[in-house]
Every structure is written in C-alpha cells, then in structure tokens.
C-alpha cells in the first residue's frame, strides 16, 4: 500500500484524490490518509502530491504512518473531489514534526 505521511498535515493539497482509481483517500481536519486494504498500489498518486507526502510503505521507517493511515481510514469520511488546499498550505509545506504539533 501507499501511505500519506507528515507533510500532508496543514497543507492538504488534495491533488491526490483526483487521480486515485479506487477512491481510497479519507479526510480529517488537516490531513488525508489512504485505506491500506483498498489501495491497489498503482502509484499514480505519489508524483501528484505537491508536498511529496505520499510514499510506498515499503520504504523504511514508515510503520508509524501505516498505523495512522489504517486507524483513521476507518474513522474519517471518504474524499473523492478536489477542493482548494488549506489556506496556509505553502507556509506549512516542509515544516518538520507536524504530526506532534498540529494533527487533528
């Protein structure tokens, strides 16, 4: 599966939802997650994210993000239509440790 990671938080550009063939993105207040059981590993979302927040879970060190994606995909509503990014997306793009500071 692919997972959404830290840099989505407070950016939420939403370009990813437009390209996913199986509509497996789920939306929280300030980030999205991918449902790991629904993602078909096509990889088309990865290069579409302006924040470079989408990674294959085969990359090392992403266990925490796989857990977060799994947990919240079952709690949050599906999102399939692109809207504007969050208002301060450019300001928060690239900041480190956003999960600890801002996740909601």
Which residue ranges make up the site for ligand F3S (CB under 6 A)? 4, 8, 11-16, 32, 49, 51, 53-54
Looking at beta carbons only, is 8 or 24 nearer to ligand F3S?
Answer: 8
Say how many C-beta atoms besides its own lie within 10 A of residue 51's C-beta: 23
State how far the Cα of 41 lies from the Cα of 11, in Å rounded to an integer: 23
Shortest reach from residue 54's CB to ligand F3S, in Å: 5
DSSP letters spanning 66-94: HHHHHHHHTTSPB--S--PPPTTHHHHTT
Query: Which of ligand SF4, ligand F3S, none does residue 40 bind to, with CB < 5 to 8 Å depending on kind?
Result: ligand SF4
Looking at beta carbons only, is 74 or 94 nearer to ligand F3S?
Answer: 94
């Amino acid at each position: 599966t692919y997972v959404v990671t830290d840099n989505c938080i407070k950016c939420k550009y939403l370009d990813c939802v437009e390209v996913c063939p199986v509509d497996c993105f789920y939306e929280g207040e300030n980030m999205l997650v991918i449902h790991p059981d629904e993602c078909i590993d096509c990889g088309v979302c990865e290069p579409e994210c302006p924040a470079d927040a989408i990674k294959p879970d085969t990359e090392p060190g992403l266990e925490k993000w796989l857990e977060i994606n799994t947990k919240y995909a079952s709690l949050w509503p599906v999102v399939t239509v692109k809207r504007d990014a969050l208002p301060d997306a450019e300001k928060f793009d690239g900041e480190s440790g956003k999960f600890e500071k801002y996740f909601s």
